[in-house]
Amino acid sequence: MPSASRTAAFFDYDGTLIAGYSILTFLKERVRRRDLAPAGLLRTTVSLAQSALGQIDSRELISRGIHEWSGRRLADLETLGEHLFERELRDRIYPEMRARVAEHLRQGHLVAIATSAAPFQVESVARELGIEHVLCTRLETRDGVLTGKSSGPVLWGRAKADAVGEFARRHRVDLRRSYFYADGDEEIALMKAVGHPRPVNPRPLLAESAAREGWPVQRFTSRGMPGPDARLRSALATASAVPVLLGALAMRALTGSKREAANFLASTLTEISLGLGKVRLNVTGEEHLWAVRPAVFIWNHRNIFDAQIVGRLVQRDFGAVAGKDLQSSPLVAAAARFMHIAFVDPDDSRAAVAALEPATRLLGEGISMLVAPEGTRVAGGGIGAFRKDAFRMAMTAKVPVVPIVIRNADDIGSRSSGTMRPGTVDVAVLPPVRVDDWTLRDLDRRVEGVRQQFVETLERWPGIVDRRVPRRKRR
Rounded Cα gap, residues 415 and 431, in angstroms: 28
Question: Is a pLDDT exceeding 70 seen at residue 269?
Answer: yes
Task: In whole angstroms, give the CA distance from residue 28 to residue 34.
Answer: 10
- What does 132-195 look like in DSSP terms, one character per residue? -EEE---EEEETTEEEEEESS---STHHHHHHHHHHHHHTTB-GGG-EEEE--GGGHHHHHHSS
pLDDT value at residue 417: 82
355 compared with 258, residue with greater pLDDT? 258
Residue percentage of the chain with pLDDT more than 70? 94
Instruction: Determine phi and psi for 180, rounding to 5 degrees.
Output: -140, 125
Dist CA 245 CA 268 (whole Å): 10
Q: Average pLDDT in the 81-109 region?
A: 93
Please say if the pLDDT value at position 469 is more than 50. no
* pLDDT at position 349: 65
For the chain, what is the mean pLDDT?
A: 88
316-367: pLDDT as tens digits? 999 998 877 777 777 777 777 778 888 777 666 666 677 788 889 989 999 9
pLDDT in tens, 133-184: 999 999 999 999 999 999 999 999 999 999 999 999 999 999 999 999 999 9
**34-45 confidence digits (pLDDT tens):** 887 788 778 888
